[in-house]
Amino acid sequence: LNYWAVVPAAGVGQRMGSACPKQYLSLLGKPILQHTLEKLLQTNVQGVVVSLAAEDNYWSQLPTLPRVWTAPGGTERSDSVRHALEKLLTFPEVKPNDWVLVHDAARPCVRVSDIQNLMQTVADYPIGGLLANPVRDTMKRADTQNCVTETVSRQQLWHALTPQMFRLQLLYDALTTAAIQGYPVTDESQAIELMGYSPVLVSSHPDNIKITHPDDLALAALFLQQQNN
């Protein structure tokens, strides 16, 4: 069986407040997206499909990377992932049961060893799984005025990260079903859960942050520098 990867990179990154989409911001002298792709290409994935926004003016400035193809982005992240899976399914060498790893463009600090650990651990599970982190803080639910209504137990509560690894055809069917039903899914696991399956959570190193706010850039630079030492 082969492993493939999909990188949704068609977001505008509104919360970043920058002129260019966040996946193209420079991090230690290289666009964030390039760091992310280089991490995936250090594993034994056969190839990577990147979903890009129609109005993307930055992709062409990246150096050409081997085994990387592009697909059109969509309105939501899940649409961008679906389009990339459609592209993969046109490749003659792709089998419906092949594994696909979906990884956010905005997570350049993922460790290659964590991706490899996910691949090894999930290979024994029929459905798939995802990198995740146990919640550390005490969790509160609040009303619309930000007043606490409940303390939520953090036991058995995890942060869902990426990559998320599933069987290609199953993931495509799950995302398509969620889209037809108008069910908003914010990660791949949620679509698989809606099919009645239970993906496995695999612990990630906590430096696998999603760059969302301007302050995250300095933190990401620190994490990458630490990894290179």
- Taking only Cα atoms into account, the Rg of the chain, rounded to an integer number of angstroms, comes to 17
Please tell me whether residue 105 binds ligand C5P under the rule CB under 6 A: yes
Q: CB under 8 Å to 145, separation ≥6 — which residues?
A: none
Nearer to ligand C5P, 164 or 201 (CB): 164
d(CA 82, CA 64): 24
83 binds ligand C5P (CB under 6 A): no
Q: Does 163 bind ligand C5P (CB under 6 A)?
A: no
Under rule CB under 6 A, residue 9 binds ligand C5P:
yes
Measured between alpha carbons, how far is 7 from 215 in angstroms, rounded to an integer?
23
d(CA 219, CA 180): 39
Using CB under 6 A as the binding rule, whether residue 114 contacts ligand C5P is answered as no
Residue 22 or 167: the one with the smaller Cβ distance to ligand C5P is 22
Residue numbers 25-54 binding ligand C5P by CB under 6 A = 51
Among 30, 41, 59, 76, binds ligand C5P (CB under 6 A): 76
Cβ contact 5:40 at 8 Å: yes
- The answer to whether the CB of 99 falls within 8 A of the CB of 179 is no
Residue 145: CB minimum distance to ligand C5P, A = 26
- The residue count of the chain comes to 229
Nearer to ligand C5P, 77 or 167 (CB): 77
Under the rule (CB under 6 A), what is the footprint of ligand C5P?
Answer: 8-11, 23, 51, 73-77, 80, 104-106, 210, 212
